[in-house]
Structure 1
Amino acid sequence: MESISVGLLGLGTVGSGVVKVIESHQDKLMHQIGCPVQIKKALVKEINKVRDVDIDTSILTLDPEEVLLDPEIDIVVEVMGNIEETKEHLVKALTHKKHVVTANKDLMAVYGPELLSLASENQCDLFYEASVAGGIPILRGLVDGLASDRITKMMGIVNGTTNFILTKMTKEGRSFDDVLAEAQALGFAEADPTADVGGLDSARKMAILSTLGFSMNIDLDDVKLKGITEVTEEDLQYAKQFGYIMKLIGYAHREGNRVEVSVEPALLEESHPLASVNDEYNAVYVYGEAVGETMFYGPGAGSLPTATAVVSDLVGVMKNMRLGVNGKSAVSPQFLKQLKDDEEIYSKHFLRLHVEDEVGVLSSITSVFSQNGASFEKVLQNPLGEEKAEIVLVTHKTSLKSFEKILVELRDLKGVQFVKSTYRVEGGDA
């Protein structure tokens, strides 16, 4: 094999990083696979745009078919984003026997099983390590490093934007809107940050992680979702008083063959390793029956970290090409999907209530909890003035079904003005 030719779909932040890594690591790539790697064509939206990478404009094209149908291109690297149009491009690439490497978690969360099946039919590789947690090799860790183990739980911070926002809010006592504006100015948040702060970006990644970790087809719609847009400085201060740090946590738990997958702001004990993961960094905690606890930590985004994951997948494809085993690495899910019902999902809960400051209110609230088989681990009451008070509490573990019923009853309870906020709590066994 004289050389391996790569076609790029997209030359933005990650695409430029891929070019840089391939050029600067050419000696290592030669050592790994025994031949040079060259970028033959790159699909762009504008040929003469100023870019932060030196690239010969003669290899740039506005026509995707120059990449997808070129018989000399062995591997297509997709870093253009989008879902529907990009899926069409990758279907065309795979049906023309081209291997695919993608960083597109949106696409893989929605169409992953379909594209992987098509790749297998055409004896092609489809690798997507960069789609989750940027430069952290979490997918390869699950598929290869922990292949012999049975994963029981995965929880982590898989979105750098929300982690940056919550870190600043916690440490500096600032509002969500204020920190979001700073994150946008620094380039950590998009102009439209909805997918990040609403939790959708994290949910897509957790669907991918759960599918691989549990060997079960988990769809995006299976992920219970709550973002951070309603989080206030007061929530974080009360959490701190109780010894907790808030993070947007992707959570996937399997008991037997029944699973739950969620993304929501959660309170972690300050001693938990994830509580010290700050700013734009990502980390995923993985629990295996044999290995116990492992943690993957690193930069979750950025040009070069993500590009490194893309090029690592490229190396994997190229090694398979030399061995003649392309298209044989994908393993169909072993288990049928079985999602837990709300009565099977247990956790502690943090709750803030605004109430009338009068005799009997706390007793009535306690009665609602006890009638639903729930109890308090911690309780705090603060006067708000004008005969009003705020009650902040953390429950012992209770089922999600019971807790949802408690919330409904509290909203109708005499003396309770409104439920201010509620969050899942992770940590401790009670």
Structure 2
Amino acid sequence: MKGMSKVIGIGFLGLGIVGSQVLSYIKENKDYVEEVYGMEFLTKSVYVRDITKKRDVDTSDIYLTTDVTKIVENPNVQVCIECMGGAGMEETYDAVMGAIHNGKHIVMSSKKCLAVYGTKIIEAANQYNVQLRFEASVGGCIPICRSLMQMSKGDEVTKIYGIVNATSTYILSAMESKKITFDEALQQAKEKGFAENNSSEDILGFDTLNKMRILLRLGMKVDVDCNDVNPVSIENINDESTNREEPIIRQVFYAEKTMQDDINCFVGPQILKSDSMLKNVSENYNMIFVESKHSGLRAYYGKGAGGRETASVMFDDLIDVVQSNYRFEEIKPIGCNCLSGDTFEL
């Protein structure tokens, strides 16, 4: 099919660890994409904050710029891949909306931006008839967003819960298995690349809260105000708690619809039941359960962190946005009741 391939212009918004891995993925799979899909992904330009910075991927044939408008307003770019990472949430939001307003399909990774502005971004994508995907924002390599987008069309999701933060999971499981302190486990997580230098949002539960909000938009079509949920930190869990054979403690999220048409939510450390499947989640793995009215309980499991793993789902999203014509359903604001961990069992 070479010679007949449709050229798709790609623009990157950010080229850090994840962005570099996605660009490498595109380069490595060039022949495969042409052969199977009849397309050629051609990276036209990349927005970065420092052009002179040394990178892990060859950019010698790519236009680098510190002006984001050179990407979002480029008529030769059909898809923008957002990997802005450490950039401010507002800056990310402005760049994404600029791309949407200029008719670009979007593949996103910034979960905090999606958690806060996700409803506005989804509405804009529908309005401007562009495709939006953000699989990399929750669950690492687990295709949970794609599953919820399809599942909830013919079923009513009533409950979503699980473990979605690799940093906290590594810390707690290392404290259990290696009999080490919280600080020692955190340091190991950083050395293995499962934790940022500043891991406060992971430890305090805000990262998990952000991911829960994204999943609720897709699964239940609701927007929960984060001010209604008070995450519980794992920082006060000591080695005495984790040195026992039982119980096993993990940072979890839990959300269920109520008969009053609102949501019961919890984010924080939870003592797991002796027969809980979540007890098997350790190191950098995630596990998410979705319960629906007709299909019952489903489980999703996989690596929740890692540059290569994240890049793989963003590459899948890239193929999806140029082939699909998905339209998001209306998302409604909803009240939330903040639970305590002793009011439910997992």
TM-score calculated relative to the size of structure 2: 0.92
Q: 1:46 to 1:338 in 2, by over 3 A?
A: closer
Superposed, 1:190-339 pairs within 5 Å as: 190-237=196-243, 240=245, 243-256=246-259, 257-320=261-324, 325=325, 328-333=326-331, 337-339=334-336
Q: Deviations over 1:191-211 (max 9, x none)?
A: 111111111111100011112
Q: 1:30 aligns with which of 28, 31, 34?
A: 34
| Deviation, structure 1 residue 57 | 5.3
Superposed, 1:22-421 pairs within 5 Å as: 22-56=26-60, 58-81=62-85, 82-237=88-243, 240=245, 243-256=246-259, 257-320=261-324, 325=325, 328-333=326-331, 337-340=334-337, 349=342
| Deviation, structure 1 residue 187 | 2.2
The answer to whether the 8 A contact 1:160-1:188 is kept is yes
Q: In structure 2, what residue type is equivalent to 1:180?
A: L
Q: In structure 1, what residue type is equivalent to 2:248?
A: I
Partner of 1:426: 345
Q: Deviations over 1:209-243 (max 9, x none)?
A: 112211212232233311211111122245x4xx4
The answer to whether the 8 A contact 2:224-2:335 is kept is no
| Deviation, structure 1 residue 346 | 7.9
Structure 1 residue runs of 4 or more that deviate by more than 4 Å after TM superposition: none
| Deviation, structure 1 residue 31 | 4.4
The answer to whether the 8 A contact 2:171-2:186 is kept is yes
| Deviation, structure 1 residue 253 | 1.3
Deviates more, 1:301-310 or 1:250-259: 250-259
- Structure 1 vs Structure 2: percent identity of aligned residues? 32
What is the aligned-residue RMSD (CA, Å)?
1.9
SS of aligned partner of 2:290: strand
SS of aligned partner of 2:272: strand
Deviates more, 1:151-160 or 1:140-149: 140-149
CA distance in 1, matches of 2:101, 2:333: 28
Q: In structure 2, what residue type is equivalent to 1:247?
A: R
Higher relative contact order (CA 8 A, sep 6+): 2
Q: In structure 2, what residue type is equivalent to 1:134?
A: G
The answer to whether the 8 A contact 2:266-2:340 is kept is no
CA distance in 2, matches of 1:38, 1:188: 31
CA distance in 1, matches of 2:340, 2:23: 47
| Deviation, structure 1 residue 249 | 0.3
Q: Which runs of 5+ in 2 are unaligned?
A: none
CA distance in 2, matches of 1:9, 1:141: 26
Higher alpha-carbon Rg: 1
| Deviation, structure 1 residue 15 | 0.3
CA distance in 1, matches of 2:340, 2:57: 50
Q: In structure 1, what residue type is equivalent to 2:329?
A: V
Q: 1:270 to 1:32 in 2, by over 3 A?
A: farther
CA distance in 2, matches of 1:68, 1:35: 21
The answer to whether the 8 A contact 2:175-2:243 is kept is no
How many residues are matched? 339
Partner of 1:366: none
The answer to whether the 8 A contact 1:47-1:57 is kept is no
Q: In structure 2, what residue type is equivalent to 1:137?
A: P
SS of aligned partner of 2:6: coil
Deviates more, 1:110-119 or 1:251-260: 251-260
SS of aligned partner of 2:334: coil
CA distance in 2, matches of 1:198, 1:260: 20
Q: In structure 2, what residue type is equivalent to 1:339?
A: C
TM-score calculated relative to the size of structure 1: 0.75
CA distance in 2, matches of 1:122, 1:111: 17
Q: In structure 2, what residue type is equivalent to 1:130?
A: A
SS of aligned partner of 1:147: helix
SS of aligned partner of 1:304: helix
SS of aligned partner of 1:262: strand
Q: Which runs of 5+ in 1 are unaligned?
A: 350-397, 399-424
Q: Deviations over 1:12-67 (max 9, x none)?
A: 11101111211222233234532211111111222232222223254222221211
| Deviation, structure 1 residue 146 | 4.8
CA distance in 1, matches of 2:258, 2:31: 47
The answer to whether the 8 A contact 1:249-1:265 is kept is yes
The answer to whether the 8 A contact 1:207-1:223 is kept is no
Q: 1:42 to 1:2 in 2, by over 3 A?
A: same
